Structure 1
């Protein structure tokens, strides 16, 4: 089979599309013939951290396709079933948070291949209203957004949610989900083109990340901030969040270290909450929520599998608005 394999060098230079062994499912597993898959910044972080001596790895956490083989002991799933893949492995119940969640596509081979073997529990029936392209790019970004908004921030209708750095898959999914839940959404970006695109989705405010946030919000304070950036913007959060507000961090694109004056947290009773990915239980809830509100993930661009390096170059350049995906089968 053909696959996007990382090997031999760190970073994007180590990514090649070549032939790989087609594996058979073990007991409790299924094999999915992948039709579409989605890129995530996690893939870039993995490639950056790998070394030349590391074993070859098929990347990819997101995907959707058709079951073509079933291992012993698997019930309720048969060859020919259309499925969407839940990327987090071994995290079943929401409250049973693992120390470090395991995820498809590192350390186990992932979805950037013509077939992928996964635990049967990680296969969910594909919602019929989604196209294959939408289903393939949805899993990790939508799951991360759902857990951040509903499990961790516990947003309510009428609250004001601020999403700094709009453009990526998680941020755009969160924008649509929060609005569907009755929240008001504002966004920031360094790109005027992305701000203009966000205004098409009836956001309350869309303003420059390096500008005056109070002015951009017209003096209105926010209840929840979804943080994927970290130190580059964190000090601005403390200027625009309401007392009893929640900052939910799920990324660190500008670095890991944030300096916070503690009085700015405890006097206004702020909550700073961490989150990452989500459980199998939440994945099912997320699919039901999206289907109930007919939410479709935004797609920036789809590439054929052989052009996976070009797809990652677009992600590296930060040009996308929505998800970037691969058409495979």
Structure 2
């Protein structure tokens, strides 16, 4: 089959569109024909080795220094290169492993990309496309327990916008206990996770304030934002201190301090990323005098993905698909992703 193999840490020259052996599902696994695969920061960060402790810049900075060798650049462990990346997968079940349930063959499914191999009582987690081969290929094998059939009229590309971005966003809102009447501030609201968080927070009845480049405000309002701020505006000056119940922040970087200042006493800051830079300045007085809760979110909770499937099937959320590319255009897709001119998700389409 054809696939994109990431050969090592580095620039997009490490992305090799080539022919690889056909995967064979083992016991407890299924083989999927990949119908569409989303593009994520996670895929780029893993290729760049951004998770290495030596990296202090955002994703863009790491991309500009892509020649650096970072063997420790995985999520606390080396990435198993060569690797087929691809965290988002919309696929069709084409075969099952020994003693598997053949009745699911032909089902269109989404893959829960964040997997909890030791059960949901443990925070241990592994990710498709970072810890084992993922969806940047014509076929992929995954645990049968991690596929979810979805009955809707969305296109394959639209479904591929969901797993990583919406799973991550829903997990943050779930853990932060976002509910009706809360005032929620979402940074990076035009990105995959940010735009998902806007929809999902609005679905829960929250008042949603988004931050993004000004030219993207109308689109984010159309999916639920009640108010938009420009990313270069004075957030504290406009919103005032002690005005926000929950901050959903995957940007971090220099703006981190302002996010804590606008939180009410007893408020919650929740994050699963740091695209503007992982090293931030924290005034401990904002943290402890205001009785804040800081939540780091990577491992998805058990209800998150089944709930997402139900939202799709009931028409409670909609996809925000910016554009699609052929799988062999992955380098172009990732370069344009880093330019941050898009709104929502970019999706790769493997050869069919």
What TM-score, normalized to structure 2? 0.86
Structure 1 residue 289 corresponds to structure 2 residue 316:
no
1:113 pairs with 2:137: yes
Q: Of 136, 139, 155, which aligns to 1:131?
A: 155
Q: 1:256 aligns with which of 270, 278, 285?
A: 278
The answer as to 2:10 corresponding to 1:10 is yes
Equivalent of residue 201 in structure 1, options 223, 226, 230 = 223
What are the within-5 Å matches in structure 2 for residues 1-329 of structure 1?
1-7=1-7, 10-49=10-49, 55-75=81-101, 77-91=103-117, 93-98=119-124, 101-150=125-174, 152-189=175-212, 191-217=213-239, 221-328=243-350, 329=352
- Looking at structure 2, the residues matched to 95 and 223 of structure 1 have their Cα atoms a distance apart, in angstroms, of 28
Change (3 A) 1:166 1:157: same
Secondary structure of the 1:206 match is strand
Distance 1:58 1:250 in 2: 23
Distance in 1 separating the partners of 2:151 and 2:241: 41
Q: Which moved more, 1:301-310 or 1:258-267?
A: 258-267
What is the CA distance between 1:263 and its match in structure 2? 2.0
3-state secondary structure, aligned to 1:232: helix
Name the CA distance, whole Å, in 2 between partners of 1:3 and 1:140.
20
The 3 A distance-change label for structure 1 pair 222 and 9 is: closer
Deviation at 1:51, TM superposition (A): 5.5
The 3 A distance-change label for structure 1 pair 220 and 195 is: farther
Offset, 1:242: 1.2
RMSD, aligned CA: 2.2
Residues 161 and 346 in structure 2, CA contact (< 8 A), matched pair in contact too: yes
- Note closer, same or farther for the CA distance 1:56–1:284 as it changes in structure 2 (3 Å cut): same
Distance 1:225 1:91 in 2: 30
* Normalised TM-score (structure 1): 0.91
More off after superposition, 310-319 vs 84-93: 84-93
Residue 143 of structure 1 deviates from its aligned partner by 0.7
Tell me the distance in 1 between the aligned counterparts of 2:241 and 2:266: 17
Specify whether residues 205 and 112 from structure 1 end up closer, same or farther in structure 2 by C-alpha distance, changes over 3 A only.
same
Tell me, which stretches of 5 or more residues in structure 2 are unaligned?
50-67, 72-79
Q: CA deviation at 1:46?
A: 1.1
* Post-superposition offset of 1:257: 2.4
Q: Which runs of 5+ in 1 are unaligned?
A: none
Work out whether residues 10 and 48 of structure 1, in 8 Å CA contact, stay in contact via their aligned partners in 2. Answer: yes
Per the TM alignment, residue 267 of structure 1 is displaced from its structure 2 partner at its CA by: 1.9
Distance 2:102 2:248 in 1: 37
Q: 1:33 to 1:280 in 2, by over 3 A?
A: farther
In the TM superposition, residue 197 of structure 1 has moved relative to its aligned partner by: 2.5
**291-300 or 46-55: bigger deviation:** 46-55
Aligned-residue offset at 1:56: 2.1
Equivalences, count = 325
CA offsets, 1:97-118, max 9 Å, x none? 21xx211112211101100011
Contact map agreement 2:257 2:283 (CA 8 A) in 1: no
Distance 2:112 2:103 in 1: 15
For 1:233, what is the secondary structure of its paired residue? helix
* 1:8 Cα deviation after fit: 5.4
Give the Cα separation in 2 of the matches to 1:232 and 1:305.
Answer: 35
Query: Offset of 1:202 from its aligned partner?
Result: 4.5
